[in-house]
Amino acid sequence: MSNGSTFPPPRRSRGILLILVAVVMAVGVGGWLVWRSPGGGPAPAGAAASGSPTDRGSAPTDGTGGPAPTDGAHRLQGRTVLLDPGHNPHNRDHTERIARLVDIGNERKECDTTGTATNGGYAEAEFTLDVVRRARALLKAEGAKVVLTQDGDRPYGPCVNERAAAGNEVHADAALSVHADGSDPGNRGFHVILPAPVSAGAADTSAIVGPSRQLGERLADRFAAATGSARSNYVGHGTGLDVRSDLGGLNLSTVPKVFIECGNMRDPKDAAQLTDAQWREKAARGITEGITDFLAR
User: pLDDT 10s per residue in the chain (297 long)?
Assistant: 433 333 333 444 444 444 444 444 444 434 433 333 333 333 333 333 323 222 223 332 333 233 334 445 789 999 999 999 999 999 999 999 999 999 999 999 999 999 999 999 999 999 999 999 999 999 999 999 999 999 999 999 999 999 999 999 999 999 999 999 999 999 999 999 999 999 999 999 999 999 999 999 999 999 999 999 999 999 999 999 999 999 999 999 999 999 999 999 999 999 999 999 999 999 999 999 999 999 997
Asked if residues 264 and 270 have their Cβ atoms less than 8 Å apart, the reply is yes
CATH topology of domain 80-295: Aminopeptidase (3.40.630)
Where in the chain are all domains bearing CATH 3.40.630.40? 80-295
- Per DSSP, the residues of the chain read ---S---PPPHHHHHHHHHHHHHHHHHHHHHHHHHHSGGG-PPPTT--TT--TTTTT---B-SSSSBPP-TT-STTTT-EEEEEE-S-TTGGG-HHHHHSEEE-SSSEEES-----B-TT--BHHHHHHHHHHHHHHHHHHTT-EEEES-SS-SSS---HHHHHHHHHHTT-SEEEEEEEE---TT--SBEEEEEPP-EETTEE-TTTHHHHHHHHHHHHHHHHHHH-PPBPSSSSTTSSEEEES--HHHHT-SS-EEEEEEEETTSHHHHHHHT-HHHHHHHHHHHHHHHHHHHT-
Burial 130-147 (b: 16+ CB within 10 A, else e): bbbbbbbebbeebebbbb
CA atoms 23, 25, 30, 35: torsion sign: positive
Entry pTM: 0.77
Peptide bond into 158 cis (omega under 30): yes
Under 8 Å between Cβ of 138 and 81 = no
- Separation of alpha carbons 297 and 295, rounded Å: 6
pLDDT at 297: 78
Q: Answer for the pair 193, 247: CB distance below 8 angstroms, yes or no.
A: yes
Cα dihedral 108→234→130→125 (10° resolution)? 40
Q: State how far the Cα of 182 lies from the Cα of 117, in Å rounded to an integer.
A: 7
| CB-based contacts of 187, cutoff 8 Å, min separation 6 | 181, 232, 233, 234, 264, 266, 267
